[in-house]
């Protein structure tokens, strides 16, 4: 999934973990080169559910791609698996696709959409939609990931998902 997404979107990791841990996990999985920005717990003053980590990742993406049109918070999709991370993304004005690998779907209802596993999610799933989507946010079309990805210019993969590299 990460390799396909990186060909289309600038990717960032926004994690409450330490930078060395994030980089080691991503390097071991062969994914480090796909992330333009990594924001760790060391880079922020306030953790999730505050949006600081996501907004800082967005600012760094914009700094790296300053010759292109700016990416706004509304252009971003955050992939999260925690209630605190979902709240941080939403407070930051970003769309959120939640994955219920560590929490129940019920606890993740504040996300724009929820899938049960990223193992079934790839770029075509996000572009065409899939059958395993739980829809929650009023006003979203029936197949949320289509809207999420076609409007996203930046994608953030939250830290807990980076820890579970089998999901990426």
Q: What is the pLDDT of residues 13-47, one digit of tens each?
A: 999 888 998 889 888 889 899 999 999 999 999 99
* 155 confidence band (pLDDT: 50, 70, 90): low
DSSP string, 97-137: EEETTSS-TGGGTTSSEEES-GGG--HHHHHH--SSEEE-S
> Over the chain, what is the mean pLDDT?
76
* pTM: predicted TM-score of the whole model, two decimal places: 0.79
From the CB of residue 163, how many other CB atoms can be counted at a distance below 10 Å? 17
The predicted-structure confidence for 73-87, as pLDDT tens digits, reads as follows 988 888 888 899 999
């Amino acid at each position: 999934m990460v390799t396909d997404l990186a060909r289309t979107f600038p990717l960032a990791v926004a994690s409450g973990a330490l930078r060395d841990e994030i980089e080691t996990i991503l390097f071991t999985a062969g994914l480090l080169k796909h992330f333009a920005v990594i924001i760790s717990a060391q880079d922020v003053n306030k953790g999730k559910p505050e949006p600081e980590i996501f907004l800082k990742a967005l600012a760094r993406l914009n700094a790296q791609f300053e010759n292109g049109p700016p990416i706004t918070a509304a252009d971003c999709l955050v992939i999260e698996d925690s209630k605190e991370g979902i709240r941080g993304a939403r407070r930051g004005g970003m769309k959120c696709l939640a994955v219920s690998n560590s929490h129940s779907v019920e606890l993740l209802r504040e996300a724009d959409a929820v899938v049960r596993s990223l193992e079934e999610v790839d770029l075509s799933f996000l572009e065409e939609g899939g059958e395993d989507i739980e829809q929650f946010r009023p006003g979203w079309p029936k197949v949320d990931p289509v809207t999420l990805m076609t409007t996203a210019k930046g994608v953030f993969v939250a830290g807990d998902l980076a820890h579970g590299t089998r999901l990426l």
